[in-house]
Amino acid sequence: MPTKPAVVSAETVRTITTGDSVSIRVSPNSYFIALFISTFFTGFLVYLEIDWAAALLFVLSWICIPFLAFTDRIVFDGKRISRTGFLPDAWAWLNGSRSRLKLSDIEQAETQALRALKRGGSVFYRYRTAIRGKDVHFAFASGGEDYRRMVRRIFPMLSENVLDNRSIELRDYLSEPKETLMKAEFEQIPSPEVLESSLRGFYSREKNLHALPVESPDHEDREKAEELRRLANELRLSGHLLQALEAFRRALVLNPRDNWILFELARCMQSFAGSERDKKMERRALALLRLAERRAQNDGELLARLGESYFQFGEWERAGKVFQRALDRVETSFRSVRGLAEIALREGKIAHVIHHFSTATRLAETPALRRWTRGEADYFSRLNNDDIYMEMEVSRINMLDTLERSKKTTLKITFVGFPLIIAGVVIDESLVANLGWAICSVSLLIWVGLIMSQRMLSGRIPLEMVQEDN
């Protein structure tokens, strides 16, 4: 019989049981932007010969901003997530917003994987996790042991329906890269240079995968295949994709009836195809998903995860069929109903979106999920029934698109001004330098204003506001 998804590792269990809080530094991008802008205007004040103001701005920015960035952290104490630091506390006090979130109030945990660096058959991934609930949003990114500790503490304590596909994988398989490579060496998995040609040859012939024997493996082979499967997923999340493919291949040879291995192998192949920009490999990954779907039978959990992967691949029609099949097999599949709602939203079928979110509300097993799905159903019901609210929301979204385009244009204009400043200083031509400073200053101020406006408009218009106006 196919195995269930891997259970949480012993290391993760030990981490959960410890009572110590864990924390991670907030991504410093906003602080870097503030430091860049303050440094630019410091130079501008020096150019205007207002030296005292330039010195004051330089000292304050280069002392205060790094300090604020260093103290701005996300902390989890075992019961709630909170954000510490002077600026978050001041902002929460000024606008009356929440700065902490109980574990039971988390509605969504989503993780994105960004390819930051590629070298040979290995890719350096940067993961960015966003946790939302009760209009509170926390985001933190990978980059060290702090991220692994946060994932190991928070994700196992959440309902699986709160987590997306990537977050579930991180919960089950995230490990320290050096230890993972040591395990791969112990299993005698070759280096990426050795594997590249042989694996490409194996996966380029689809009949190799269909021709694998389907007889039931013995207990020893199943255990070994499960070990290789865990190693393959750890290698994949660490970015060692070629070695992960080899580990999956060995696991599949030992236990070809395990549909979860097929599913995870397909996701690994898709990641490798994306890093190599190999369209043929992408088609092979999709074919593997189809094979796993064909063999899934009545495994509603696997079918729901397959539907999410199809959706991620852009195969929305196929995803809808798989979600519906999962519902036919397991009527209480929350993930499938939510997936159908997202597909209906893509197709512009608002009535179907409302129906599926209402169904998801009945199937949700936690109060947080029920609150989120009920809120989504109410939001789209108002869009469907209230033309004024629909116009307001469409205007807001169009405005956000306009602001995003304007930001890019303004930033390009800013970079046009820098060469003028440098040229004016080098040739000692004040008119050229003045023009450059004027262009950069005005563009940067507009850019900052656009960023602030975009953040103000990022949230949906509250339903209560429209009701009061009516």
Q: Does the pLDDT of residue 33 top 50, yes or no? A: yes
pLDDT band at 120 (very low <50, low <70, confident <90, very high): low
> What does the block give as tokens for 172?
């089950």
Q: What is the predicted pLDDT for the residue at 170?
A: 93
What mean pLDDT is predicted for residues 23-52?
A: 88
E strand segments, 273-377: none
> What does the block give as tokens for 222?
């199943």
Q: Does the pLDDT of residue 15 top 70, yes or no? A: no
By the 8 A CB rule, do 229 and 9 touch? no
Give the tens place of pLDDT for each residue, 84-93.
888 887 777 7
Assess whether 399 and 298 both reside in one domain.
no
Q: Does the pLDDT of residue 13 top 50, yes or no? A: no
> Does a structural domain hold residue 393?
yes
Q: Which long-range contacts (CB under 8 A, 24 or more apart) does 111-119 make?
A: 111/164, 111/166, 111/167, 111/170, 112/166, 113/166, 113/271, 115/274, 115/275, 118/275
Q: Which of 149, 172, 195 is the last residue of a domain?
A: 172
Least confident of 17-31, 268-282, 397-411: 17-31
Place of tokens 């975009």: 454
Range of the domain at 95: 10-26+72-172
Q: What is the predicted pLDDT for the residue at 406?
A: 92
Q: Which long-range contacts (CB under 8 A, 24 or more apart) does 58-63 make?
A: 61/34, 61/35, 62/35
> Does a structural domain hold residue 55?
no
> What does the block give as tokens for 3?
């195995």
What mean pLDDT is predicted for residues 331-346?
A: 89
> Does a structural domain hold residue 77?
yes
Q: What is the predicted pLDDT for the residue at 402?
A: 93
Helix (H) or strand (E) holding 250: helix 241-254
Within 8 A by CB and 6+ apart from 414, the residues are: 439, 440, 443, 444, 447
Q: What is the predicted pLDDT for the residue at 10?
A: 47
Q: Does the pLDDT of residue 232 top 60, yes or no? A: yes
Assess whether 433 and 452 both reside in one domain.
yes
> What does the block give as tokens for 232?
């393959």
Q: What is the predicted pLDDT for the residue at 447?
A: 92
Q: Does the pLDDT of residue 255 top 90, yes or no? A: no
pLDDT band at 96 (very low <50, low <70, confident <90, very high): low
> What does the block give as tokens for 291?
């094979």
314: region left, alpha or beta (phi > 0 left; psi from -120 to 50 alpha): left
> Does a structural domain hold residue 40?
no
Assess whether 79 and 198 both reside in one domain.
no
Assess whether 278 and 391 both reside in one domain.
no
Give the tens place of pLDDT for each residue, 379-392.
999 988 888 888 88
> Does a structural domain hold residue 39?
no
Taking the C-alpha atoms of residue 230 and residue 261, their distance in angstroms, rounded to an integer, is: 10
Amino acid at 384: N
Assess whether 221 and 238 both reside in one domain.
yes
DSSP string, 421-467: HHHHHHTT-HHHHHHHHHHHHHHHHHHHHHHHHHHHHSSPPPHHHHH
Q: What is the predicted pLDDT for the residue at 155?
A: 93
Give the tens place of pLDDT for each residue, 256-304.
888 899 999 999 988 888 877 878 888 888 888 898 888 888 888 889 9
Least confident of 11-15, 414-418, 448-452: 11-15
- pLDDT > 90: percent of the chain: 26
Other CB atoms within a 10 A radius of the CB of residue 430 amount to 10
DSSP-derived 3-state class of residue 56: helix
Taking the C-alpha atoms of residue 163 and residue 130, their distance in angstroms, rounded to an integer, is: 10
Give the tens place of pLDDT for each residue, 418-433.
888 888 888 878 888 8
Assess whether 311 and 181 both reside in one domain.
yes
pLDDT band at 123 (very low <50, low <70, confident <90, very high): confident
pLDDT band at 469 (very low <50, low <70, confident <90, very high): low
Residue of 88, 112, 111 whose CA lies nearest to 100: 88
Assess whether 209 and 319 both reside in one domain.
yes
What mean pLDDT is predicted for residues 157-185?
A: 90
Q: What is the DSSP letter of 189?
A: P
Taking the C-alpha atoms of residue 417 and residue 61, their distance in angstroms, rounded to an integer, is: 23
**pTM of structure:** 0.84
Assess whether 231 and 290 both reside in one domain.
yes
CA dihedral 153, 157, 162, 166 (to 10 degrees): 40
Q: Considering only residues 367 and 200, tell me which one the structure prediction assigns the higher pLDDT.
A: 367
CATH code of 249's domain? 1.25.40.10
Q: Which of 385, 407, 432 is the last residue of a domain?
A: 385
Assess whether 363 and 409 both reside in one domain.
no
Taking the C-alpha atoms of residue 363 and residue 340, their distance in angstroms, rounded to an integer, is: 14
> Does a structural domain hold residue 447?
yes
pLDDT band at 464 (very low <50, low <70, confident <90, very high): low
Within 8 A by CB and 6+ apart from 454, the residues are: 400, 403, 404, 407
Residue of 78, 76, 79, 83 whose CA lies nearest to 98: 83
By the 8 A CB rule, do 25 and 72 touch? yes
Backbone angles phi, psi at 112, to 5 degrees: -110, 145
Range with the largest mean pLDDT of 4-8, 32-36, 461-465: 32-36
DSSP-derived 3-state class of residue 291: helix
Taking the C-alpha atoms of residue 72 and residue 66, their distance in angstroms, rounded to an integer, is: 10
Q: Considering only residues 195 and 56, tell me which one the structure prediction assigns the higher pLDDT.
A: 56
Q: Which of 172, 196, 220 is the last residue of a domain?
A: 172
Assess whether 226 and 258 both reside in one domain.
yes
**Average of per-residue pLDDT values in the chain:** 84
Assess whether 249 and 359 both reside in one domain.
yes
Q: What is the predicted pLDDT for the residue at 281?
A: 83
Within 8 A by CB and 6+ apart from 420, the residues are: 432, 433, 435, 436, 439
By the 8 A CB rule, do 433 and 425 touch? yes
Q: What is the predicted pLDDT for the residue at 216?
A: 67
Domain count, the chain: 3
Within 8 A by CB and 6+ apart from 393, the residues are: 383, 460, 461
Q: What is the predicted pLDDT for the residue at 233?
A: 93
> Does a structural domain hold residue 59?
no
Q: How many CA atoms lie within 13 A of 263 on its CB side?
A: 25
> Does a structural domain hold residue 413?
yes
Q: What is the predicted pLDDT for the residue at 3?
A: 52
DSSP-derived 3-state class of residue 111: strand
> What does the block give as tokens for 27?
């991504």
Assess whether 398 and 280 both reside in one domain.
no
